[in-house]
A = this chain, B = another copy of it.
Amino acid sequence: MKIGRETTPKTAISTSDAHTIVVRGKNLCQDLIGQTSFTDYFLFLLTGKPADATRRCVVDATLVAIAEHGFVPSVQASRMTYAAAPDALQGAVAAGILGCGSVILGASETAGKLFDGIARQVDDGVPLDEVVVRVVGELHASRQSIPGYGHPLHKERDPRVEALFAVAREAGADMRYVEIAEAVEAAIFEVIGKPLKLNVSAAIPAVLLGVDFPIKALRGVPILARAAGLIAHLLEESERPCGFALSYQATQQLEYTGVVPAGFKS
């Protein structure tokens, strides 16, 4: 079935013949394997351009920052899935990745778009202070949360935020979006009156946009990073299982609020 106008698939990422695999214009086996780190290759796959030291530092730092934070919901979902289906590691990783959504890890993308929109308004000549107060005000008025601010555990600033900003600063990244992110943090307190501090999901786009990381691929950073964390958890699950123990504990306080048939005692 023809859906949309285009019927001929095109790609600029890779081609190959029986002897050579070409990726972004390079010979994979001669120019890339053994010559480049995985992080550099990720950047090269995304953009077609070789990574420089600044981008590498910042991207490595974001991937390390977000790969692992204990038994968050997506890790639990993944370990429970592995416990039920241990033959299919890929299924348990997929189940964990499916939790990188708008509320939890995907907030990196939403925050990135927010910062990018603010930057464009500043480019058009509106002072930053004014823009952030208006933007935060509009989100608040329409009862939307500010993506990347506030954290259930780290009530003061998420410690990963300062670590990421320090890496970006030392690596010589453009700090413009960090400045925007901090202006938003100040505006939240001013407009809403709550001390919702920057969390890692705002810090990640703030530093990545400063090294020209593609905005549409921002959600890819937590997804890739979590894949690494999930694989470590699933290795642990295969050796010391706790997926079913998690599901058991989860329901210890469960309340059934429906009706029961005559004679049933829960």
Contact = CB atoms under 8 A, between A and B. Distances in A.
A202 B235 CA distance: 21
B216 A223 contact: no
A264 B89 CA distance: 33
A117 interface: no
Nearest to A225: B38
Interface string A234-263: 111011111111111111111111111100
Nearest to A218: B89
Interface string A220-237: 100111011101111110
Contacts of A36: 60, 64
A199 to B, nearest CB: 12
Contacts of A45: 67-68, 228-229, 231-232
B39 A38 contact: yes
Given A98-B91, A235-B46, A245-B6, A15 B70 contact: yes
A231 B46 contact: yes
A178 interface: no
A139 interface: no
A31 B163 CA distance: 10
A61 B93 CA distance: 22
A106 B85 contact: yes
Interface residues of A, number: 143
A143 interface: no
Contact of A9 (B61, B73, B89, B251): B251
Nearest to A255: B10
A84 B95 contact: no
Interface in A56-71: 57, 59-61, 63-65, 67-71
A216 to B, nearest CB: 5
Contacts of A166: 34
Shortest beta-carbon contacts, A-B, top 4: A85-B101, A220-B231, A12-B258, A45-B232
12 contacts: A15-B260, A17-B265, A19-B154, A19-B159, A20-B261, A22-B264, A34-B163, A36-B60, A74-B84, A220-B231, A227-B227, A249-B250
Interface of A: 1-4, 6-34, 36-39, 41-42, 45-46, 48, 57, 59-61, 63-65, 67-74, 76-78, 80-81, 83-95, 97-106, 109, 152-156, 159-160, 162-164, 166-167, 170, 214, 216-217, 219-220, 223-225, 227-229, 231-236, 238-261, 264-266
